[in-house]
Amino acid sequence: MLKTKTGFALAALALLTACSGVSSGPNGGSGNNPPPAPDTISGTVTFNGAPLAGATVTDFITNTNSVFQTATTDANGRYTFTGMQTTGNVPGEYQIFVNKAGYGFYPSVGSGAKVTRADYTGQFEGNGVTDIAIYFTVIDFVALPDGSVTGANFAAYNGTNPLVALAATGQQTSYAPGDDASLHRGAPWIASTRFTDNQDGTIADSLTGLVWLKNAGCFSPTTWADAIAEVNQIASGSCGLTDGSTAGQWRMPNLNELESLIDVSQTNPALPPGNPFLNVSPAIYWSSTSYFGGQDGSPQAWTIRLTDGRYMNDSNANVKATANNAVWAVKGTGSGGGTVQLASTGFYVSYVAGDDGMYQTGVPLTSPRFIDNANGTITDTMTGLVWLKRADCITGQWSDAVAAVNALANGQCGLSDGSQAGQWRMPNRNELQSLSDRMETNHADYFNSTYVWKSSGALYQSPIFTNFEVAHYYWTSTTYAADPTEAWATYSCDYGVYDIGKTNVEYALAVR
C-alpha cells in the first residue's frame, strides 16, 4: 500500500550524519576502529496468538518525515528492518507501525524502544478540511550504537477479540421499546454490592477495579493545576486515609474514570444509590483530561457535573486557570481487578505532572482502530461493536429515532450485511461515548476525513463514517433521569454528553 522511500531517507540521513562531523576517537568513523554497525529491529505480528502473515509493516524515519522501509510479514508473522544508521550527532528516530485490511493493532516491546502514540497529521493531504488530526500507535526506536531491538511485536484485533467491555449505564426505567433500560446492554452491576469500604479511607469499585478516596469532599474547589497538585500529594494520614499510601500514588481521575462512577438513573448526585462515599458534592468535578479543542487562549479540561452526569463545556466551567471545581482522587489502573477494564481516553500530551497525558491509564487505543466491513458497517476493534457506517440516515425526535433504528435492516441506509429488523439498536450513553478519542479537536471532522499520504499519494484511510454531521447532536437511548422528557445526546464536534429535549429533531447512529 505504501511506496518505499528507502533511497530518499538514507540520503537524507547521510546528510544529517555528514553535517555532524566525524571524530577520530574510538566511536568515530576514522582511526583504527570501524564505525558501529547499523541497527536492526525485528518482531512478530500475531492474531489470537497465531502468526499473521501478509501484514504491511512500515519503518518511518521522523528525521526526514518519510518512509524508510516497508516489509511484509512472512508465514511465521515475522518482519525485520536493517540498515538504520547509528553514527552522527543526530541519531535516526524510527517509528514502526502495521497495517492489514480487516485488523487493528497494538504493539509491545521490551528494552531499547518504547510504545507511544504519535501525531501523523502532517503526513497526509486533507480532503478540503485542513489539519484534521490522525494518530498512530507506534514502536518508537532511536538508532544508537549496539542498539538493535528484537521482540518489537504487534497483536492484531478484528472485533472478535475486543480489548474492553462496556458497563451498563444503570438506567432501570424504560421509556420506549428498544431503549437503554429495555435492552440492558453492558456488563451488569448491582449498586448495593458494587463498592467495598476498605475501612481505611478508601473505596474499592468491583466494576472497574479502581480504588477511590472515600471522602469526595476532602479538597476545597480549586483550579485545575492546583487540584492535580493537591491530589498528587495526599497520603496516608490525610483525608481520613489509613491505607499506608504515599504521595504520588493518588491521582485525579481521567474523564473515562470519572464517567465510570455515573449512574444515569440517579440525580443529586448521579452516583449509585447506597454508595459508601462521604461528602459527595452535586457540583462540577474536574477530570485530569485536557479539552484538546481549548488549549489556545484559555486552556480547558473536561469536567462532569455530579448533579446529573452532564459534561460541562459552557459558562467557563472548565477553564483551567479560572474555574474552581470540586476534586476527587483515585488510584490504581483497574488492570484485571474489575468486571470491566476502562479504555484510555487517548490523550497523551501532558501539561502538568499528574494529568491524564502523563499517566494515560486505561487500555490503550488500537491503530488503526476502525474496520470498514464494506457492507455498510464498521467495527470498532476496541469494543467489538459494529456500527452503521452512514451517519446521516436516521434522524427524528427521540422516540421516532429509537423506532427507526429498531426497524433498520439490510437494504436500508447502505446496508448489505444481511441484518434483520430488531438486530440494530440505538446506542446507550456508554456505547456512544466509547467511540471517542480525546486527542481529537473535532470528532465529526475526524470521522468524515480521508487521509492520503503526501509522500506517495496512496490512500491510507477512507472516512470512518459516511456524513457524520458536524455541529449536531446524536441521540443515545438513555433517558435523562432529572427530566424524562429529555434524553442524553452527544454533540458531534466536542463529543461531550448533554441533555436535550426528546422532541428535538436530531441524528442517530445504530449499533449491534
pLDDT of residue 25: 36
Distance CA 151, CA 144 (A): 17
- Indicate the pTM of the whole model: 0.92
Helix segments in 261-409, DSSP class H: 356-359, 398-407
Percent of the chain with pLDDT over 70: 91
Report the pLDDT averaged over residues 198-213: 97
pLDDT band at residue 127 using 50, 70 and 90 as cut-offs:
low
Helix segments in 309-409, DSSP class H: 356-359, 398-407
Does the structure show a pLDDT above 70 at 28?
no
Report the pLDDT averaged over residues 133-159: 95
Does the structure show a pLDDT above 90 at 420?
yes
Q: 165-179, pLDDT tens digit by residue?
A: 999 999 999 999 999
Distance CA 254, CA 354 (A): 10
pLDDT band at residue 293 using 50, 70 and 90 as cut-offs:
low
Q: 337-350, pLDDT tens digit by residue?
A: 899 999 999 999 99
Angle at alpha carbon of residue 385, lines to 380 and 391, rounded to 5°? 75
pLDDT of residue 130: 56
pLDDT of residue 5: 37
3 state SS of 497: strand
Q: 235-292, pLDDT tens digit by residue?
A: 999 999 999 999 999 999 999 999 999 999 999 999 999 999 999 999 999 999 999 7
- The residue length of the chain stands at 512
Report the pLDDT averaged over residues 9-34: 41
Distance CA 311, CA 489 (A): 11
pLDDT of residue 42: 98
Does the structure show a pLDDT above 50 at 27?
no
pLDDT of residue 17: 35
pLDDT of residue 259: 98
Lowest mean per-residue pLDDT among 118-122, 123-127, 372-376: 123-127
What single DSSP character describes residue 338? S
Contact indicator for 291, 478 with CB cutoff of 8 Å: no
What single DSSP character describes residue 35? P
Report the pLDDT averaged over residues 439-449: 95
3 state SS of 328: coil
pLDDT of residue 78: 98
Residues 6 or more apart whose Cβ sits within 8 Å of residue 304: 255, 258, 259, 262, 284, 285, 287, 310, 311, 312
pLDDT of residue 89: 73
pLDDT band at residue 465 using 50, 70 and 90 as cut-offs:
very high
Does the structure show a pLDDT above 70 at 16?
no
Mean per-residue pLDDT over the chain, rounded: 91
Does the structure show a pLDDT above 50 at 159?
yes
| Secondary structure in 3-state letters for 247-283 | CCCCECCCHHHHHCCCCCCCCCCCCCCCCCCECCCCC
What single DSSP character describes residue 228? H
Query: Burial code of 453-471, b = ≥16 C-beta within 10 A, e = fewer?
Result: bebeeeebeebbbbebbee
pLDDT of residue 4: 37
pLDDT band at residue 26 using 50, 70 and 90 as cut-offs:
very low
Does the structure show a pLDDT above 70 at 2?
no
Residues 6 or more apart whose Cβ sits within 8 Å of residue 402: 176, 177, 178, 179, 426, 475, 477, 508
The residue ranges of every structural domain in the chain are 6-157, 189-364, 370-508
Question: Options 2.60.40.10, 3.90.550.10, 3.60.10.10, 3.10.180.10; which CATH number does 6-157 get?
Answer: 2.60.40.10
Report the pLDDT averaged over residues 478-493: 98
Give the cell for residue 409: 435492516
Q: 41-58, pLDDT tens digit by residue?
A: 999 999 999 999 999 999
Does the structure show a pLDDT above 50 at 90?
yes
Does the structure show a pLDDT above 90 at 367?
yes
Does the structure show a pLDDT above 50 at 20?
no
Give the cell for residue 393: 440516515
